[in-house]
A and B are shown apart, each in its own frame.
Chain A
Amino acid sequence: MREITLSKAVNEALAEEMRRDETVFIIGEDVAEAGTPFKVLSGLVEEFGTDRVLDTPISEPGFMGIAVGAAMTGARPVVDLMFGDFLFLIMDQLCNQAAKSYYMSGGKLNVPLVLRTNLGATRRSAAQHSQSLHALVAHIPGLKVAMPSSAYEAKGLMKTAIRDDNPVVIFEDKLMYNDKAPVPEEEFLIPFGQANIKREGRDVTLIGTSSMVQVCEAAAETLAAEGISAEVIDPRTIVPLDEATLLASAKKTSRVIVVDEGHQSFGVTGEIASRINEKAFYHLDAPVLRMGAMDVPVPFSPALEDITVPTPEGVAEAARRLMSGEMIHAA
């Protein structure tokens, strides 16, 4: 199978959906000729024109609100939010307007829009361009949240998101835009709420989101050499969450580590760990561990930044401790 970059995969997904459905349009800062700072959208304006690839002023709340209104009245906007950190700017339009419209109207006014944005630290971008804020939106009922872990998922999830009748937020890891993965030439979609078992294992389950799937896979490789068989699962969407697959794996291995790049406290890792605790408690042989980003603003210095995020070594070490029964002393 051919291999393409995550960036190209997103670009293809958008182009295919825009060809299929003329109500789809892209709106955001420097999305047209510039193709975004990450060049993900290069070439789209040439094919679809400036009516469907709309450059906006630097007005995040403004174009987010405009997208809500357009979606409510029959268009399918894809909003490009240059950095995930700018979510804080658009919170009212996303969480008070888009997320609640369908419910507040008793099922009359749905908002089929996609908010494309990104996450991921270690790009030396400091605290306002490095955050992973997906837990923030996953907390709000009415929003769906997709977290592609490779080019394949990035394409399949984007196409599904555009066809979804609800507001969907997609977080791409900005460090993965140039990572290549096998992606079929022919059209495919990845349904929401279906986790992917990336690697089967017996002893411990590693649940990772976005780029943390790679971290978990690397840890599993290390552990395999030591005779520890790790299962790696990518939920692919955290809302909706494929609880059944996660629970089945937890019951099989009895030990679970949840790895996510959002801040560890009050985040995705805690939520998933909690559900496993509630629904697979009597199958657990060790406490479910959370591994998130350190609870500090993302620092600039590489010496500091690199230690704030989960690493394969850290995940493998945590798995060893679980296997040895050491963690029960912490419980």
Chain B
Amino acid sequence: MPHEVIMPALGMAQETGLIVAWHKQAGEAVSTGEVLFEVETDKATMEVEAQADGYLNDVRAGAGDEVPVGGVIALIGETAEDPAPATPAPEPAADAEDALPEGHNVIMPALGMAQDTGMIVAWHKAPGDAVGREDVLFEVETDKSTMEVEAGADGYVAALLAEAGEAAPVGDTIAVITAEKPDAPVQRSLAGAPATPAPEPAPEPAASEPAPPAKPTPKQPPAPARSDGRILASPKARRLALEQGLDLARLVEAGHPQPYHAADIEVLKSLPETAPAAAAGAASASRRLVAELPQEGFTAFADWAADSAGLKDPGALLAGLAAASLSRDTATVAVERPGRTTLYTVPPGPFARIEPAKDGAAPDLRLRDLRHSRVVQVELGAEEVPVLTLTAAGDGLAVTLECPGGALAAADTVTLLTEFAGRMEQPLRHLL
């Protein structure tokens, strides 16, 4: 069996060796200890001795070739004519898979101010195509703009090293243009390309260089409380709430101070039941719904009430309609008009019984009457109780309901707004 002549590993961190010169020719007799070739690595050149007696055959790499460590570069056989065994590809050929053609390297250009990568939108040339210096080679997208990039050299596309849709780091070679038409043009993707020539022809793909993240966004410390809807609670309190099907958001609504600990779960359990869906609802999201209706209904009703029933305060009427929509026995409603807020207590029964509430009473609902303001649309975010806002909408009226997710289940908000809009449109019918 012929002895394999191998590119030796000589340096501490060496992956390839450059053959400087062969001291023996193919077919020449060699004996153990004779200098076979010279190799350069780690800035040193050294002579490598034959490790077997015989004849040098099948020299697969010549002077000037860079060969991976461990690669077979020749054989020492028993006869000068020892035919090369049917080893498929000689090592340098295998190496060529990793090596790139020599030529003009096209790099991913830096186009933006703070750009780390560029995304290749499309290649305008295929491997092997002839290309002129000013021909558009590819399109690149960066910083939200797309631009065409010229080849920059005349010749042939010998290698495309990234595929359309891939982001290549700025400055990386993404194509090679050679003067001569290439025999075997290379086409690779960034994802599949080895980062550097592998130390040995192991098929294991080297880790691809992932495009560096555009910019490391400094991580903000979590906001101290509430502003982002996050509830501060200990891991144990969260676990207990989860196990018992309790919603910590209800503690928030109840105004119980954060952070919550296991002991606060007892407080949570003692809170009165509200809408059964509350526990299931997404506690943090706020809700907003808008209804549109003609405005004549309420205007006519207000006129009639003032003339016929002696109810001259339209604010009380609004409070009454809103409270009725809440389906609650007695409700406190705050009616806000620009510059003035009035709190009403709305008992069951006729509107005549509606009267201003005591100072400091907590409203169950706010009604913001902006029909006569310039405001046409509101999105003020949830407040602690549901808010109904009236705005003009063309000739008609828009009613916007906003409330915290924990305050009303989704279905309940729809009911509330539908009820209120209905009453505003046809107040008398609902009163009857």
Contacts and interface: CB of A to CB of B under 8 A. Distances in A.
A285 B232 contact: no
Contact of B238 (A254, A282, A286, A329): A282
Contacts of B235: 281-285
A325 B238 contact: no
Given A282-B238, A282-B239, A285-B237, A254 B232 contact: no
B64 interface: no
A284 B238 CA distance: 10
Contact of B262 (A254, A281, A328, A329): A254
B227 to A, nearest CB: 16
Contacts of A285: 234-237, 261-262
B259 interface: yes
Given A328-B232, A328-B234, A286 B261 contact: yes
Contacts of B259: 325, 328-329
A210 B319 CA distance: 71
Interface string A269-313: 000000000000111111000000000000000000000000000
Q: Most chain-A Cβ atoms within 10 A of its Cβ — which of B234, B238, B239?
A: B234
Contacts, number: 29
B371 to A, nearest CB: 45
Nearest to A328: B259
Interface residues of B, number: 10
Contacts of A283: 235-236, 239
Nearest to A283: B236
Interface in B223-261: 232, 234-239, 259, 261
Nearest to A322: B261
Contacts of B234: 254, 284-286, 328
Contacts of B262: 254, 285
A283 B242 CA distance: 13
Interface string A252-264: 0010000000000
Q: Is the interface of B mostly helix, strand, loop or mixed?
A: helix
A325 to B, nearest CB: 5
A242 B192 CA distance: 48
Size range of the interface on A?
A: 10 to 19
Q: Most chain-B Cβ atoms within 10 A of its Cβ — which of A282, A284, A286?
A: A282
A279 to B, nearest CB: 12
A285 B239 CA distance: 10
Interface string B256-281: 00010110000000000000000000
Contacts of A281: 235
A282 B262 CA distance: 11
A254 B237 CA distance: 10
A179 to B, nearest CB: 37
Contacts of A325: 259, 261
Contacts of A282: 235-236, 238-239
A255 to B, nearest CB: 9
A286 B259 CA distance: 10
Contacts of A328: 232, 234, 259, 261
A45 B238 CA distance: 62
A285 B237 CA distance: 7
Contacts of B239: 282-283
B260 to A, nearest CB: 9
Interface string B193-233: 00000000000000000000000000000000000000010
A283 B243 CA distance: 12
Nearest to B224: A329
A249 to B, nearest CB: 14
Contacts of A286: 234, 261
Nearest to A326: B259
B164 to A, nearest CB: 44
Contacts of B238: 282
Contacts of B232: 328
A285 B235 CA distance: 6
A263 B236 CA distance: 29
A168 B239 CA distance: 41
A150 B259 CA distance: 40
Nearest to A282: B239
Contacts of A329: 259
A328 B222 CA distance: 13
A138 B239 CA distance: 34
B267 to A, nearest CB: 13
A281 B237 CA distance: 11
Nearest to B243: A282
Interface string A237-261: 0000000000000000010000000
B243 to A, nearest CB: 10
A329 B262 CA distance: 16
Nearest to B262: A285
A285 B236 CA distance: 5
Nearest to B236: A285
Interface string A317-331: 000000001001100
A108 to B, nearest CB: 30
B360 to A, nearest CB: 30
A283 B261 CA distance: 11
Given A281-B235, A283-B236, A286-B261, 12 more contacts: A254-B236, A254-B262, A282-B239, A283-B235, A283-B239, A284-B234, A284-B236, A285-B237, A328-B232, A328-B234, A328-B261, A329-B259
Interface of A: 254, 281-286, 325, 328-329
13 contacts: A254-B234, A254-B236, A254-B262, A282-B235, A283-B236, A283-B239, A284-B235, A285-B262, A286-B234, A286-B261, A325-B261, A328-B232, A329-B259
What are the 6 tightest A-B residue pairs by CB atom distance, in nearest-first order? A282-B239, A285-B236, A328-B259, A285-B234, A285-B262, A285-B261
